[in-house]
Amino acid sequence: MRPMSREERVRRAIEFRRPDRVPIVFWNRDQDEGDVMLYHLSLGAEGDGTANAWDWSANEWGYHLIKLGDGTMGHPVEPVYEQMPAPSEIRVPALREEERLSAVPAFFEACGDRYRLASFDLSGFTVYTFLRGFAGAMEDFLIDPEGFSELMDRIIDFECDLMRAAARSGFHGIHFADDWGTQSGMMISPDLWRRLFKPRYARQFALAHDIGLHVWYHCCGEFLAIMEDLHEIGVGVLNISQPNVNDIPEVGRRLRGRQCFMMPISYQTVSITGTPDEIRAEARRLHDLLAVPEGGFIGYVEEYSVMGMSEANYGACGRAFRELGRPGNV
């Protein structure tokens, strides 16, 4: 039998077509150790000369992230629009396709046979909260649904244009990053999410499928209430970023064998304070609850020294996923 390429391994895991082993993603370091490489689509404000995620002084949408010097991406301190803008006042970024994708040839060469994943870095709801401020966004959903719709649809349309550009360039998947959960539940009610956001995401994900891209969706916090909705509207890879605050056995009961998951060893608990044996046991637990012999599981490794992760534990996370072997093995 011919050896399986790394792209095919990832594709088979997503599509439940029996990869030869569990694929692994190294997210923010050592990507060439894994099966996926990540390309950042976001840019700084036009003319600032920065093209790497988080290096810009202002994002192309106009928001600023204040750096704290602690290794995090920073945080916004003031909204772009203190008041809801009129439609004519909304400043949608230019596509800047040539500039945005200028590093793609070198990136693809570095990828080799790996899966090529383009990322928005931040998307959808998160971008909206940066434009209007978190409190303003929460008020908009209920007080100014018309203004919300106009601004949110501009964000969605821009992201659709970026997806088309990524597909034209030869990427295999598109990565959304939206945080809907707190440590104990959703930021808004599931019913409100289904009314305001589910149809918009469904439109985006349908376009991704039409142009040949898998949908990868990241979410922090506890968001079990909408996981089946995300599966229903076309998420191919669901990244449960905080397994420690989600009921993973219940997730498995609802979606195992239907949904592909990208799972980390919790970087709030086990990957920070655990021993290598505990890290290995947690990787096995997540895998056994969520994977099936046909696939459905991708290991996720992120260096989190900012949270107190040691170099030894970072290495242990990668080894733990490598030791899983074939998906569905027990």
Condensed to tens digits (0 to 9), the pLDDT of residues 74-89 reads 888 899 999 999 999 9
CA distance 4 to 22: 12
Tens digit of each residue's pLDDT (9 = 90 or more) over 222-242? 999 999 999 999 999 999 999
Work out the average pLDDT over 39-47.
Answer: 91
Quick one: pLDDT at residue 326? 66
CA distance 321 to 154: 39
Is pLDDT at 329 greater than 60 in this prediction?
A: no
Is pLDDT at 330 greater than 50 in this prediction?
A: no
Contacts of 123 (CB under 8 A, 6+ apart): 155, 159, 176, 177, 178
- How many other β-carbons are positioned within 10 Å of the β-carbon of residue 277? 10
DSSP at 46: T
Give me the DSSP letters along 65-101.
-B--SSSS--B--S-S-SSPPPGGG--PPP--HHHHT
CA distance 7 to 116: 8
CA distance 104 to 10: 20
CA atoms within 13 Å, Cβ hemisphere of 148 = 19
Quick one: pLDDT at residue 51? 52
Q: Which residues pair with 237 in a beta bridge?
A: 216, 260
Hey, CA dihedral for 314, 36, 203, 86, is it positive or negative?
positive
CATH topology of domain 6-41+100-322: TIM Barrel (3.20.20)
Quick one: pLDDT at residue 3? 85
Among 48-57, 72-81, 96-105, 249-258, the range scoring the smallest mean pLDDT is 48-57
Quick one: pLDDT at residue 328? 54
Work out the average pLDDT over 247-264.
Answer: 98
Quick one: pLDDT at residue 246? 97
Work out the average pLDDT over 174-188.
Answer: 96
- pTM, 2 dp: 0.95
The token duo for 56 is 């810009």
Answer yes or no: are the C-beta atoms of 88 and 139 closer than 8 Å: no
Distance of CA 58 to the CA centre of its chain: 21
